[in-house]
Amino acid sequence: MATVIDTLQERGLFEAVTSPDIGRLVENPAAVYAGFDPSASSLQIGNYVTIMGLAHFQRAGHKVVALVGGATGLIGDPSGKTNERPMLSAEEVEQNLEGIRENLSRFLDLNDKQAPAVIVNNHDWMKRFTFVEFLRDVGKHFRVGAMLAKESVRARMEGDRGMSYAEFSYQLIQAYDFLHLYDTEGCRIQIGGSDQWGNITAGTDLIRKLRGVEAYGLTFPILCDSTGRKFGKSEGNAVYLDRRRTSYYQFYQYFLRTADADVIRYLRVLTFVPMDEIAAMEEAMQSAPEERIAQKRLAEELTRAVHGTEGLTIARRASEVLFGGTLSGLRVDDLLEIFADVPSVEKRLDEVRGRPLVDVACAAGLCRSKGEVRRLMADGGFYVNNQRVTEHSATVNDDMLIEGRMVVLRSGRRHFLLVRIV
């Protein structure tokens, strides 16, 4: 009988495991956890790989625990980093925790009657320790030689900047998290990206020493594109799961533009699309790559999963509008969502209504001069609310004022400017 491990292997969500015996453990319901550090107010698509791992375990009937690192977030995980993370204040960490809890609640079923997901905060148990107590109860079970041999530590020690004691101690805290969750939630499995291997094995070793029980670690490949570039804040290409940081349209378009070399792998890793359907799309790509069937499916599945049907609808409509589609039926709030990344200016009503469009466009900054606006009109490249205007004498009438609050100006195919009435 196929297990969740088989599913993860089939979908490319499997890199390494501490022991093959994990296969027997997951033949029956087990408890598994993954950690998320609150280094930002939202998780991003790189974290979504781990979320998908938890979701696959939950779908297979296992108990899943998502740990948000209220304690570890105050230090910063050194794994995979060449420099120490900027220290966050307690207030910043708490704000970020709220955003991450919201993110996780969208993807994990907290109300599943058989295997409800649980979200916990490691600050709840770490705050009970004094420094001396932690060294005595946890630190004495670790050997410096083994800690130095961890890849996350060794790579930093070989660099110019080294590693602070706080970062060096990070693996002790994560190891204790695993022990605590074994004691309180029955967790015998921790999952995470491949950069977490050292932290995870620190936990399995601690549980073996203190409880005499075999615990397991399972890692996923770090999500990269075909050029080897990671997704993440430090890479400058983070795609956030919060629409306030990555709009519906930006999110949808990002995956719609996925390279052919990446799209099938992303479908396997980031969606629940059945494998036979993915295979059919891969075959279709060979005969008609220009139709981008796989990219469209990826963008739709991911946007719906992350932002719901409403978010997907707005993203599709935004795509239509930004490529010249009608604004008919859209309200100002819809347009603000669609044009979240478009420049805007504020004007008083008397500066817009009844005024020549040439004057308004120039004053708003769409063009550098009135003459440029007139030339744009003459060439058929001037639009108001995506409707072409060619008459130099045209004025802004009430029909052009969307809910009396906004006018959308456009020059050429893609240069938009919002005029907001205040």
Ranges of residues in the chain with a pLDDT under 50 are none
Residues 310 and 367 in one domain: no
Single out the residue of 390, 385, 374, 392 nearest to residue 416, CA to CA: 385
CA angle 248, 60, 11 (to 5 degrees): 60
Residues 315 and 353 in one domain: no
Calpha distance 406→126 (Å, rounded): 51
Q: The pTM is what? A: 0.84
Residues 195 and 289 in one domain: no
Last residue within a domain, chosen from 293, 323, 353: 323
Residue 238: inside a domain: no
Residues 252 and 366 in one domain: no
Last residue within a domain, chosen from 323, 349, 380: 323
Residues 15 and 108 in one domain: yes
3-state secondary structure of 103: helix
Instruction: Give the pLDDT of residue 80.
Output: 67
Domain containing residue 102: CATH number: 3.40.50.620
Residue 349: inside a domain: yes
Domain containing residue 377: CATH number: 3.10.290.10
Domain containing residue 286: CATH number: 1.10.240.10
Residues 154 and 258 in one domain: no
Last residue within a domain, chosen from 299, 323, 347: 323
Residue 198: inside a domain: yes
Residue 344: inside a domain: yes
b/e code 79-113 from CB counts within 10 Å (16+ = b): bbbeebbeebeeebbeebbebbeebbeebbeeeee
Residue 243: inside a domain: no
Half-sphere exposure in the Cβ direction for 381 (13 Å, CA): 14
- Domain hosting 294: range is 248-323
**Unique residue bearing structure tokens 């109860």:** 137
Residue 412: inside a domain: yes
Residues 25 and 138 in one domain: yes
Residues 214 and 255 in one domain: no
Residues 196 and 309 in one domain: no
Residues 64 and 195 in one domain: yes
Calpha distance 35→65 (Å, rounded): 9
Residues 101 and 177 in one domain: yes
| CB distance 62 to 119 below 8 Å | no
Domain count, the chain: 3
Instruction: Give the pLDDT of residue 87.
Output: 77
Single out the residue of 317, 319, 322, 310 nearest to residue 408, CA to CA: 322
Residues 208 and 283 in one domain: no
3-state secondary structure of 316: helix
Instruction: Give the pLDDT of residue 138.
Output: 93
* Sign, Cα dihedral of 363, 367, 370, 374: negative
CA angle 41, 45, 48 (to 5 degrees): 95
Q: Are strands 406-411 and 415-421 parallel, antiparallel or unpaired?
A: antiparallel
Calpha distance 189→214 (Å, rounded): 10
